[in-house]
Amino acid sequence: MGILFLGEKLSGNPYSREDIKLLDSISYQMAISLQNSLLYEEIKKDKEVLERFYKLTVGREVKMAELKEKIRGLEEKLKENKGKIG
């Protein structure tokens, strides 16, 4: 997921096995960091989608409860009016 460019060492000496091992470890850690960053962003986006869905769902539940309450009120009024008429 990335590239690491190296030039000559300032000392002019060739890279030693220890240098190569260190660079290998650094590149491995960088790859893990980049992957973690990508996963974090993905989770963040998924969280936002779920939060929007939750708000929609809760909003609908509240509206449904309000509608049921209004229906009950209308049914009661119908019963009251039916008793007055009949």
Over residues 57-80, the pLDDT tens digits come to 888 888 888 899 999 999 988 888
Q: Which residues of the chain have pLDDT under 50?
A: none
* pLDDT at residue 26, rounded to an integer: 92
8 Å CB contact between 1 and 36: no
The identity of residue 13, as a single letter, is N
* pLDDT at residue 78, rounded to an integer: 87
**Intra-chain end-to-end CA distance of the chain, in Å:** 81
pTM: 0.54
- Give backbone dihedrals phi and psi of 16, rounded to 5 degrees, phi first: -90, 170
